[in-house]
Amino acid sequence: MANSEANIPFAVVILAAGKSTRMKSARSKVLHEVGGRSLIGHVIGVAEGAGAALTVVVTGHDGEAVAAEASVHAANFAHAVQDPPMGTGHAVAAAIAAVDALTTFDGDVIVVFGDTPLLRAENFTALQGARAAGASVAVLGFTPDDAAAYGRLLVSGELAPGVHGLEAIVEFKEATEGQRAIDFCNGGAMLIDGAHLPALVAAIGNDNAKGEFYLTDAVALAVGKGLKSAAVEAAEDDVMGVDSRMGLARAEAVFQKRARVAHMAEGVTLRDPETVYFSFDTKIGRDVVVGQNVVFAPGVEIADNVTIKPFSHLEGARVEDAAQVGPFARLRPEAVIGRHVKIGNFVEVKKATIEEGAKVSHLTYIGDARVGAGSNIGAGVITCNYDGYNKYFTDIGADVFVGVNAALVAPVTIGDGANVAAGSTVTTDVPPDALGVARGKQRNIDGWAPKYRARKKAEKDAKK
């Protein structure tokens, strides 16, 4: 069945059976993160965003953690085990054997690696475009600065503009000197017409230097059957694989560069773009100004006209219109910062709502709490929300003034319009419009200081 257009549903098979040998990790490499999301989570996200109707993940014998992670991201998920690993063709054969849907799939199957987090939806669309041009097998290719040991693509002619006819993929170890001189390389992603997938995979042999079953042989096998194969070119970054800590760092750098460009294009001002870090799901409105050395961990939403000052860290938080955060502020999960709120330096907010126009200007911890509209929280104030066993809630009403160094011991309520005196340890509710004072009475002892100094000097002299 030939596809007449791109962006129709397809199945994706993600190869994730590799070990973390070069990563030097007890975890599978595909569970390591870029932009706050696992490598395999990125691959699944872009595949499903491009129209994948079925996601099949192939793992090794110890792949339960990978399968669990994949199932979180995939809407329609299946798991296959490749044990022992005997090459990419063997991995796809394991997927076909484990997932009945692949033997009768009425569409295309795209095979990708689980350690390629920088793939774009456009890459899947390009493969589908090659399919629409008449190819039964289509491959992503790229032209690296250093072709190194990548497999080489043997192309001839064009099926359509930008769609190269493809005769074969030759693994580097199998390539002649002339073939190694080719700089158009295998990017690792391959589309195969589902109607031909089982037969092509079954025909793959292992008569090669490594004794493995290479999926890349499907190209020449298809051509031998009179089917058309094609290659479309992707950017080198798009097909970057991650198999080491250095590779992880390179992928993170590319991800961050893309994110910075995307946010600036949508109307965000970054004072020093290279020092701002985003997550895969960061949402930022227009006319937002972000200072230097700001980190957006996962789950952050920023409305319009917000200012995030330098050295702030935000995670799982929502900041509403025209609020100001930082510098040196920390917003933790379930922090909601209302319109026109000011969160100042060295303020930490966790699982708390700060309502419109309130100010928490410096050196304060607000956790498991509500701060009502227009309230002012002084320096050094703490909501004491944990007794060592359970968390408790502090409710601060509207237009409340809390003086410096007050400790609000939850559960406690400060009524609308109330004041809390500086230095108070508040353990019971303060009624609306009342003054809450909870501190020891000051006592002054005349002449005490000179006597103290004389005593301490005598103690020090006695030690000489």
What CATH number should be reported for the domain holding residue 61? 3.90.550.10
pLDDT of the residue at 7: 52
Residue 8 burial (C-beta neighbours within 10 Å; 0-12, 13-18, 19+): middle
List, for residues 276-286, the tens digit of each pLDDT value. 999 999 999 99
Q: Is residue 170 part of a domain?
A: yes
392 and 254 part of one domain: yes
As a whole number, mean pLDDT of residues 207-215 equals 88
As a whole number, mean pLDDT of residues 74-82 equals 94
pLDDT of the residue at 19: 80
Q: Is residue 342 part of a domain?
A: yes
Judge whether residue 6 has pLDDT over 70.
no
160 and 301 part of one domain: no
164 and 287 part of one domain: no
Contacts of 363 (CB under 8 A, 6+ apart): 345, 346, 347, 379, 380
**Percent of the chain residues topping a pLDDT of 90:** 89
165 and 290 part of one domain: no
Range of the domain at 288: 245-436
Tokens read off for 243: 């198999």
List, for residues 154-202, the tens digit of each pLDDT value. 999 999 999 999 999 998 988 889 999 999 999 999 999 999 999 999 9
335 and 215 part of one domain: no
CA pair distance 433, 416, nearest whole angstrom: 6
Judge whether residue 5 has pLDDT over 80.
no
Count Cβ atoms below 10 Å from residue 93 Cβ, excluding itself.
21
Active site residues: 362
339 and 229 part of one domain: no
CA pair distance 202, 215, nearest whole angstrom: 10
149 and 88 part of one domain: yes
Q: Is residue 232 part of a domain?
A: yes
206 and 250 part of one domain: no
pLDDT of the residue at 402: 98
More confident residue, 21 or 419: 419
List, for residues 381-390, the tens digit of each pLDDT value. 999 999 999 9
96 and 218 part of one domain: yes
More confident residue, 297 or 60: 297
208 and 290 part of one domain: no
Q: Is residue 256 part of a domain?
A: yes
What CATH number should be reported for the domain holding residue 337? 2.160.10.10
More confident residue, 314 or 85: 314
Across all residues in the chain, what is the average pLDDT?
Answer: 95
List, for residues 316-366, the tens digit of each pLDDT value. 999 999 999 999 999 999 999 999 999 999 999 999 999 999 999 999 999
Which amino acid, residue 131?
Answer: R
Q: Is residue 336 part of a domain?
A: yes
Q: Is residue 353 part of a domain?
A: yes
pLDDT of the residue at 1: 34
234 and 251 part of one domain: no
What is the total count of domains within the chain?
A: 2
